[in-house]
Structure 1
Amino acid sequence: MASPPGVFLTGAVRHGKARRRRQNPAHEVHVGADAKSEPDNSSTHAQGVKRVEAITAVWSKKALWSTFVLLWLVSFVAAMLGSVEGALSPYITSSFDEHGLLAVISIAARIIGGVVTLSIGKIIDIRGRMEGFVGALLLITVGMVMKATCQNVETYAAAQVFYWVGNVALGFIIEVFVADITSLRNRMIIFTINSTPNLCTTFAGPVIAELFYYRANFRWAFAAFLIILLVFSAPVVGVLWFHERKAKKLGLIRPKSGRSRLESAKFYIIDFDGKFAPPWERAGAPASLVMQVAVRCQDANVTPVLGAILITAGFTLITLPFSLVSSATHSWESASIIVMIVMGVVSLVAFLVWEKYFAPVQFFPFELLKNRTVLGAAMTYFFVFLTTFVWDAYYGSYLQVVNGLSISISNYVLNAYSLTSYFTGPFIALFIRYNGHVKWPAMAAIPIYVLGTALIIHFRVPGPTWVLVGFSTGMLTTMSQLALMASVGHQNVAVAIAIYGLFGAVGSSIGYAIAGGIWTNILPSKLAEFLPDYAKDQAASIYGDITLQMAEPIGNPIRDAVIEAYGVVMRLMVIVGASLIPLLIAAVLIWKNINVKKLESGEKRARGNVF
Structure 2
Amino acid sequence: MSEASGSAGPVVLSGVKKVELYKKVWSRNDQIFIFVGLFLLSWAITWETTITSTVTPKVTSILGANNLSSILSTILYILQTALLPMISKLSDFTGRAEAYSFAMTFYIVSFIIMASANNYPTLVGAKVIYAFGYSGTTILGPILIGDMTSIVNRGIYQGLYNAPVLINLFVASSVGSNFVESGRWRWSFGINCILLGVTSAPLLAGLWNVQFKVKRSGLLVKAEEEERNSGPRMTLWERIVWLAIEIDIVGSLLLIGGLCLVLLPLVLALPKWGGWSSGLTLGTLISGVVCWGLFALWELKFSPKPIIPLARWESRTPLYGVLVTSSITLISSTNWQFLATYLQISRRVDSKTAIYLECGYNVMYIITEVSVGFLMARFKVWRPFIWTGIAIAIVGLGIMIPARLPTSSDAFVVVSQSIVGLGTGMCFIPVLVAVQSSVPHNDLAIVTALFQVGGSIAASVGSTMAGAIWNALLPTKIAEYVPGEYDHAQIISSITYVQSLPIEQYDGAVKAYGEVQKLLNIIAVSLSVLTFVFAVPMQSFGLDQTEETRIASGAKNTNGNPNEVPSILSEDDISKSDIKPTVSPA
Other-structure match for 1:64: 31
- Of 100, 103, 116 in structure 2, the residue corresponding to residue 133 of structure 1 is 100
- Does 2:327 correspond to 1:376? no
The equivalent position to 1:457 in structure 2, one of 390, 395, 401, is 401
| Among candidates 589, 601, 604, match of residue 536 of structure 2 | 589
Q: The residue matched to 1:456 in structure 2 has which SS?
A: helix
Asked if 1:558 corresponds to 2:505, the answer is: yes
Paired residue for 1:518? 469
Are 1:266 and 2:233 an aligned pair? no
1:322 maps to a residue whose letter is L
Q: Give the equivalent residue in structure 1 for 2:254.
A: 310
Provide the TM-score with structure 1 as the length reference.
0.84
Task: Please report how far the alpha carbon of residue 125 of structure 1 lies from its aligned counterpart in structure 2 after TM superposition.
Answer: 0.3
2:33–2:203 CA contact under 8 A, matched in 1: no
Distance 1:118 1:493, change over 3 A: same
Question: Is 1:502 the counterpart of 2:453 in the alignment?
Answer: yes
Map 1:78-227 → 2, pairs under 5 A:
78-227=45-194
Aligned equivalents of 1:251, 1:457: Cα separation in 2? 62
- The structure 2 residue matched to 1:395, chosen from 333, 336, 339, is 339
The whole-number CA distance in structure 1 between the counterparts of 2:464 and 2:452 is 18
| Counterpart residue type for residue 516 of structure 1 | G
Distance 1:207 1:482 in 2: 34
Deviation at residue 363 of structure 1 after TM alignment: 4.7
Unmatched runs of 5 consecutive residues or more in structure 1: 1-13, 20-41, 274-299
How far apart in 2 are the matches of 1:487 and 1:469? Answer: 27
1:475 Cα deviation after fit: 1.1
SS in 1 for 2:219: coil
Amino acid at match of 1:526: K
CA contact (8 A) 1:248 1:255 kept: no
Q: What SS does the aligned partner of 1:147 have? A: helix
- Residue in 2 aligned with 1:33? none
Q: What is the distance in 1 between the residues matched to 2:423 and 2:6? A: 42
Question: Would you identify which runs of 4 or more consecutive aligned residues in structure 1 move more than 6 Å?
Answer: none
Counterpart of 2:21 in structure 1 is: 54
Kindly state the Cα deviation for residue 552 of structure 1 after the two structures are TM-superposed: 3.6
User: How much does 1:45 deviate?
Assistant: 4.7
Deviation at 1:65, TM superposition (A): 1.3
Note if contact 1:449-1:468 (Cα within 8 Å) is conserved in structure 2.
yes
1:467-488 alpha-carbon deviations (Å, 9 max, x no partner): 2100110111111111101101
Give the CA deviation at 1:321.
2.1
Cα separation, partners in 2 of 1:434 and 1:373, compared to 1, 3 Å: same
Corresponding residue for residue 474 of structure 1 = 425
* Counterpart in the other structure of 1:319: 263
Deviation at 1:255, TM superposition (A): 4.0
**Structure 1 residue 122: Cα displacement:** 0.9
Aligned-residue offset at 1:152: 1.6
Q: 8 Å contact 1:15–1:362 — kept in the other structure? A: no
Compared CA separation, residues 330 and 156, structure 1 to 2 (3 A): closer
Aligned letter for 2:131? W
Matched, 1:544 2:457: no
Tell me if structure 1 keeps the 8 A contact 2:103–2:137.
yes
Q: CA deviation at 1:529?
A: 1.8
Post-superposition CA distance 1:464-523 (Å, at most 9, x none): 222210011011111111110110111111111111000000111111111111100011
Query: What CA distance in whole angstroms lies between the structure 1 residues aligned with 2:4 and 2:124?
Result: 35
Match of 1:609 in 2: 566
Q: Distance in 1 between matches of 2:531 and 2:305?
A: 32
Q: Which moved more, 1:123-132 or 1:444-453?
A: 444-453
Compute the displacement of 1:304 (Å): 2.9
- Alignment partner of 1:414 is 2:358: yes
Cα displacement (A) at 1:106: 0.8
Contact 1:419 1:470 in 2 (8 A): yes
- For residues 312 and 259 of structure 2, the distance between their equivalents in structure 1, rounded to whole angstroms, comes to 21
Deviations 1:116-147 (A, max 9, x none): 12111111001000111011111212311221
> Amino acid of the residue matched to residue 610 of structure 1?
S
Deviates more, 1:514-523 or 1:109-118: 109-118
Shift of 1:449: 0.9
Are the aligned partners of 2:273 and 2:281 in contact in 1 as well (CA < 8 Å)? no
- What's the Cα RMSD here? 2.4
Helix, strand or coil at the partner of 2:69:
helix
Partner of residue 552, structure 2: none
Aligned equivalents of 2:273 and 2:287: distance in 1? 19
Task: Check 1:302–1:183 CA distance in 2 against 1; reply closer, same or farther (3 A cut).
Answer: closer
Whether the 8 Å CA contact 2:54–2:173 is kept in 1: the answer is yes
Give the C-alpha shift of residue 252 in structure 1: 2.0
**CA distance in 1: counterparts of 2:291 and 2:462, whole angstroms:** 21
> What SS class does the counterpart of residue 532 from structure 1 fall into?
coil
Cα deviation digits, residues 406-455 of structure 1 (max 9, x gap): 21121122232122110121110011111122223211222211110011
Alpha-carbon distance in 2 for matches of 1:159, 1:99: 17
Shifted more, 429-438 versus 125-134: the winner is 429-438
Q: Match of 1:512, as an amino acid?
A: S
- Alpha-carbon deviation of 1:175? 1.3
Partners of 1:385 and 1:450 lie apart in 2 by 13
Displacement of 1:217 in angstroms is 1.8
Partner in structure 1 of residue 199 of structure 2: 232
Bigger drift between 66-75 and 247-256 goes to 247-256
Letter in 1 for 2:466: A
Cα deviation, residue 56, structure 1: 2.2
Q: 1:445 aligns with which of 389, 407, 410?
A: 389
**One-letter code aligned to 2:281:** I
Give the AA of the match of 1:269: I
1:72-121, CA deviations, whole angstroms, 9 ceiling, x for partnerless residues?
01110111011111111112211221101111221121111122121111
Q: Which residue of 1 aligns with 2:209?
A: 242
> Would the aligned equivalents of 1:55 and 1:243 in 2 still touch at CA under 8 Å?
yes
Deviation at 1:218, TM superposition (A): 2.2
Q: Deviations over 1:248-288 (max 9, x none)?
A: 22222234999xxxx96434323x26xxxxxxxxxxxxxxx
Q: Which amino acid in the other structure matches residue 400 of structure 1?
A: Q
Return the letter of the residue paired with 1:594.
F
Identity of aligned residues (%): 25
Q: Give the paired residue count.
A: 541
Q: CA deviation at 1:604?
A: 7.2
Instruction: Show CA shifts across 1:366-409 (max 9, x none).
Output: 43577310111000011000011111000011111101222112
2:324 aligned partner, one-letter code: T
Q: Distance in 2 between matches of 1:415 and 1:463?
A: 8
Whole-angstrom distance in 2 between the partners of 1:269 and 1:402: 53
Equivalent-residue separation in structure 1 for 2:563 and 2:145 (angstroms): 16
* TM-score (norm. length: structure 2): 0.87
Single out whichever of 340-349 and 192-201 deviates more from structure 2. 340-349
Q: Deviations over 1:147-168 (max 9, x none)?
A: 1111221111121122133112
